[in-house]
Amino acid sequence: VLLAASRFQSCTPRWQTCIGNTDDTLGFALGSLFVKETFDKHSKDIAEEMINEIRSAFKGALDRLGWMDPHTKRAAKDKADAIYDMIGFPEFILDPKELDDVYDGYEVSYDSFFMNMLNFYNFSSRVMADQLRKTPNKDQWSMTPPTVNAYYMPTKNGIVFPAGILQAPFYAHDHPKALNFGGIGVVMGHELTHAFDDQGREYDKEGNLRPWWQNSSVEAFRERTECMTDQYSRYTVNGEHVNGKQTLGENIADNGGLKAAYNAYRSWVQKNGEEKRLPAVNLTNDQLFFVGFAQVWCSVRTPESAHEGLVTDPHSPPRYRVIGTLANSPDFSRHFNCPVGTPMNTGGRCEVW
């Protein structure tokens, strides 16, 4: 998953609480309205193309890995090829009858929020009970279309990008490719890399939990992940250290995602030629890629919220999702001319994928 689950606090405006609860209970009906109103029909095809470019870049990086044995490398490529994607929204939300069938049995009251919630909990319990002992549906969505997030499913070896994240600042059809690859491209690379993080790597290409690595590659993988655990454990927020073990999977995904997306962008440039530079910003397009990645994580948190994140969140704090990942990128150091020995080019990079 790209982001931590959001929580609605007491200071949240009422309209936002209402939207949040509507999404929790009637998310696919809300998603139907959202998609019809806002979703660019070309986004799905463009996203599909980008995912394939990033998959190719990831496999190209696998070829250059010195620490992985040939047998495991072939199996890793097979797993990358087998990852299937779901983009935007499930098709049933555009069919009124199918949408009605999904919510059949859920009684909605026009004047009682309490009854609506009670009815929904009863309804969802019945739906879950009905799925017992049935073959799992590979195409079932765990996030609603308006959600600004994305996720990887290890037991299905699939990645999902709801319509909500296929918009600025992650993606816009009129943005330079550098910005789109730095935004949604890194998200795609992040979710793809989850298939090979400390937990995802335990599942094979069919989503079965079984060993498929040679022992020598397992040991080499652990050595590289220890480097990353130690790196992120040195970062602090308000004097409190990041938990490098708790955040390892997401940090692996951030680093692998950035590298795959950057390599995919460079491949795009080789095929299509350099883009024109944006006027007035005084950045090369390669620099713009990294700025696009960094601005996605701009955020403000109270000290209490920051502490809660350090204790409970499997993601590093946003500041270090940027700094930690870029400090491991030789491409970033090259394009921003960071001398060896400076904070963003320490001379001791960690790299897994």
What residues does 158 pair with on adjacent strands?
84, 153
Side-chain-facing half-sphere of 26: CA atoms under 13 Å: 20
Chain centroid to CA 332: 21
Nearest to 156 by CA among 196, 204, 97: 204
> What's the whole-model pTM score?
0.92
Q: Quick check: 176 and 287 in contact, CB under 8 A?
A: no
Domains, the chain, in order of start with CATH, read: 11-40+91-138 (no CATH), 41-88+140-335 (3.40.390.10)
Q: CB-based burial of residue 12 (10 Å sphere; 0-12 exposed, 13-18 middle, 19+ buried)?
A: middle
CB atoms < 10 A from the CB of 91, how many? 9
Query: Can 275 be counted among the known catalytic residues?
Result: no
CB atoms < 10 A from the CB of 76, how many? 23
**The amino acid at 81:** D
Residuewise pLDDT in 10s, the chain (353 residues): 878 765 545 578 999 999 999 999 999 999 999 999 999 888 999 999 999 999 999 999 999 999 999 999 999 999 999 999 999 999 999 999 999 999 999 999 999 999 999 999 999 999 999 999 998 788 889 999 999 999 999 999 999 999 999 999 999 999 999 999 999 999 999 999 999 999 999 999 999 999 999 999 999 999 999 999 999 999 999 999 999 999 999 999 999 999 999 999 999 999 999 999 999 999 999 999 999 999 999 999 999 999 999 999 999 999 999 999 999 999 999 999 999 999 999 989 999 99
**Of 53, 204, 250, 254, which one is the catalytic site residue?**
254
Q: Quick check: 92 and 32 in contact, CB under 8 A?
A: no
Q: Strand 84-88's sheet: what is its strand order?
A: 84-88, 158-162, 151-153
* Ranges assigned E (strand) in 199-302: 236-237, 240-241
Distance CA 67, CA 158 (A): 26
Nearest to 327 by CA among 272, 251, 268, 276: 251
Q: Quick check: 193 and 252 in contact, CB under 8 A?
A: yes
Query: Encoding tokens for residue 92?
Result: 């049933």
- Contacts of residue 341, Cβ cutoff 8 Å, sequence gap at least 6: 347
**Which 3 state secondary structure label does DSSP give 107?**
coil
**Of 191, 197, 286, 313, which one is the catalytic site residue?**
191
Nearest to 183 by CA among 166, 195, 207, 202: 166
Distance CA 317, CA 310 (A): 7
End-to-end CA distance of the chain: 18
Q: Where are the alpha helices (DSSP H) in 7-151?
A: 14-38, 43-63, 70-82, 96-102, 113-130
Query: Can 254 be counted among the known catalytic residues?
Result: yes
